[in-house]
Amino acid sequence: MSFKRDIHGIGNFEAVVKTDKPIREVIPALIFKFPPGVVNYSKSDGTLTTRVRRKLVAFYPSGEIAISPVKGKSELMEFSERILKIINEAYEELKRNGPPTEKELKALKKLSPLTLYKYLPKTNCRECGEPTCFAFATKVITGEAKISLCKPLNTDKYRVNIKKLKKDFGERIANSLGCF
Ligand code: SF4
């Protein structure tokens, strides 16, 4: 099975596209497809909102996907194609690995720049291009940087930090942060 989409409605600044099948079961798996700091999943109503390339995107169990802002039809076609690809990838991953566990959902809520900072070397060496480890942690949480850009974490001295991060948050959340 794979999902396809139709343009449902397009206004001046927002649009709604709709998949050809409901996406209720896929939505929880989408939490691993976006950076933790920009994803908001509501288990009670099964919706997920996030930001992708400066657009607000809301996924609804029925298959409706609201996108804002939208500049025009051609931009919407290209952007919604990308979103559809993410949905199909999440569906494949769901079949392979199952839905997120309660532990993962709780861990995701705890994940903040301060939490992530605790796993970094805290030397402010600037190798990642950021002035401090905390600034880097903030960018990783919002998806502006991948944790693999911190090269010291891939050395004998600090590799244990990554191991601990994976143990505390799980491989899937660690991967969504860009862990090596
Ligand atoms: S490369 Fe790593 S240790 Fe160095 S400043 Fe960036 S986050 Fe901190």
- Write b or e for each residue in 51-81: b if 16 or more Cβ atoms lie within 10 A of its Cβ, otherwise e: bbeebebbbbeebbbbbeebeeeeebeebbe
Question: What percent of the chain is predicted at pLDDT more than 90?
Answer: 81
Ligand 1 centroid – CA 125 distance (Å): 5
CATH superfamily of 5-99: TATA-Binding Protein (3.30.310.10)
Tokens of 33: 């497809």
User: How far is 16 from 23, CA to CA, in rounded Å?
Assistant: 15
What's the whole-number mean pLDDT along residues 16-26? 95
User: How far is 93 from 32, CA to CA, in rounded Å?
Assistant: 10
Ligand 1 centroid – CA 12 distance (Å): 43
Please check whether residue 33 is in contact with residue 89, taking contact to mean a CB–CB distance below 8 angstroms.
yes
Decide whether any atom of ligand 1 lies within 6 Å of the 121 Cβ.
yes
Q: Provide CATH 1.10.15.40 ranges for the chain.
A: 103-176
Atom of ligand 1 nearest to the CA of 137: 7
**Is pLDDT above 70 for 1?**
no
pLDDT value at residue 3: 79
Over residues 24-78, the pLDDT tens digits come to 999 999 999 998 889 999 999 999 999 998 899 999 999 999 999 998 888 999 9
Nearest to 38 by CA among 111, 177, 141, 171: 141
Q: Whole-number mean pLDDT of the chain?
A: 93
Given CATH 1.10.1060.10, say whether it is the number of domain 103-176: no
Decide whether any atom of ligand 1 lies within 6 Å of the 91 Cβ.
no
Over residues 135-154, the pLDDT tens digits come to 999 999 999 999 999 999 99
Over residues 99-121, the pLDDT tens digits come to 999 999 999 988 999 999 999 99
Please check whether residue 7 is in contact with residue 15, taking contact to mean a CB–CB distance below 8 angstroms.
yes
Decide whether any atom of ligand 1 lies within 6 Å of the 130 Cβ.
yes
pLDDT value at residue 5: 74
Q: Provide CATH 3.30.310.10 ranges for the chain.
A: 5-99
